[in-house]
Amino acid sequence: MITIVGVFWPLERHWIRRGRDQVKLHERIVIGIILWNSVVFLLYFLDKAKARHGRWRIPERVLLWIAVLGGGPGAFMGMQLFRHKTRHTRFRIIIPLAAILQLTLIYVWLIKR
């Protein structure tokens, strides 16, 4: 999430000055967050499917990093729905913490808008 905000933040004045026809910055950021979490959710699904078929897997550190870098809620939903990585201590601790932190930051950010 921080990465997404960092990319769009400098463009906020530009969008505000261009008029009401432009999608507001916070709407673009929310859409970006939803899309990113959808991608993360899909990656957890694909990794679980590959695990079932004994195929090449997505490295664990990649799954953790994509969750920490804004995909916590998507990773958490993927873990729970697909029962994927639920026995790994690192995932059981890091993913819920990332999801809670990211959802809290999003909530606080949207409330201040």
Dihedral pair phi/psi, residue 12, rounded to 5°? -60, -50
pLDDT in tens, the chain (113 residues): 555 555 555 555 555 555 555 668 878 888 999 999 999 999 999 999 999 999 999 999 999 999 999 999 999 999 999 988 889 889 999 999 999 999 999 999 888 87
pTM for this entry: 0.76
To which residue do tokens 């920490």 refer?
Answer: 68
In this prediction, residue 86 carries a pLDDT of 85
Sequence spans of domains, the chain: 2-111
Which residues have CB under 8 Å from 67's CB, separation 6+? 40, 74, 75, 76, 94, 95, 98, 99
The residue behind tokens 């959710």 is 41
The 3-state DSSP class for residue 24 equals coil
Tokens representing 17? 């000055």
